Amino acid sequence: MFENGNKPRKLSIIASKGSLDMAYPPLILANAARMSGIDADIFFTFWGLDIITKKKMNKINMASIGNPAFSMAPYAPWFKIPTWMGALPGMSALSTWMMNREIAKLDFPPVAEFIEMVSDAGACLYGCKMSMDMMGLTKEDLFEPAEILGAMEFLEMSEGAQVLFV
> CATH no. for residue 118?
3.40.1260.10
Whether 30 is covered by a domain: the verdict is yes
Whether 66 is covered by a domain: the verdict is yes
Whether 93 is covered by a domain: the verdict is yes
Average confidence (pLDDT) per 10 residues, the chain, 166 residues: 65 95 95 97 97 94 67 55 66 78 88 95 98 97 96 95 94
Whether 148 is covered by a domain: the verdict is yes
pTM of the model: 0.84
Whether 113 is covered by a domain: the verdict is yes
Structural domain tally of the chain?
1
Whether 117 is covered by a domain: the verdict is yes
Report the pLDDT value the prediction gives residue 76, as an integer from 0 to 100. Answer: 58
Contact assessment for residue 66 and residue 53, using Cβ atoms and an 8 Å cutoff: no
Distance between alpha carbon 18 and the CA centroid of its chain, in Å?
A: 7
Rounded CA-CA distance 126/61 in Å is 22
For residue 160, what are the domain limits?
10-165
Whether 2 is covered by a domain: the verdict is no
Whether 39 is covered by a domain: the verdict is yes
Report the pLDDT value the prediction gives residue 1, as an integer from 0 to 100. Answer: 41
